[in-house]
Amino acid sequence: MKILILHGPNLNLLGTREPQVYGSTTLDEVNQKMMDLGKALGAEVSCFQSNSEGALIDALHEARTWADGAVFNAGGYTHTSVALRDAISAIEIPVIEVHLSNVDAREEFRQRSLISAVCKGKVGGFGWRSYELGLRGLVDIIKGR
């Protein structure tokens, strides 16, 4: 089983970016935790981050050819990107939407997600553990449990 962990804009700054909102764990640490967890769950995890919408779309298109599913934090594009929504919808592998923060408890503009409706599930508010919960759920879905 192969899984893509995909991070959108500004998530390269994790650890130093608004730690009171997003925590002090760095992106490299999140990725290491997900690769370790993947190994324990019998999944090969690959991680990619981009600040560019087009590169994220390309990563989703490529995932269609090699991945069984994806865990995706689209960052600010969650609230704005029809193109990312269309990419998720097009690739027909299960995608789990994740957020470190609880977006529903924040500003109104964060309470609208353009991607939720085309994702298999959604996790938010658990800091880096949102990725862990998302990965565990995705692996179970793929295994048909």
Residues noted as catalytic: 22, 99
State the CB neighbour count (10 A cutoff) for residue 53: 17
Q: Which is nearer to ligand DQA, 120 or 122 (CB)?
A: 122
To ligand DQA, the closest distance from the beta carbon of 72 in angstroms equals 10
Sign of CA dihedral 129, 71, 67, 139: positive
Smallest distance, ligand DQA to C-beta of residue 76, A = 4
Query: With respect to ligand DQA, which residue has the nearer C-beta, 46 or 78?
Result: 78
Nearer CB in complex with ligand DQA: 110/122: 110
Could you tell me the smallest distance in angstroms from the CB atom of residue 73 to ligand DQA?
Answer: 5
CB of 11 or CB of 142, closer to ligand DQA: 11
> Residue 42 and residue 12: Cα distance in Å, rounded?
27
Site of interaction with ligand DQA (CB under 6 A)? 10, 73, 75-76, 78, 99-101, 103, 110
Shortest spacing between CB 124 and ligand DQA, in angstroms: 6
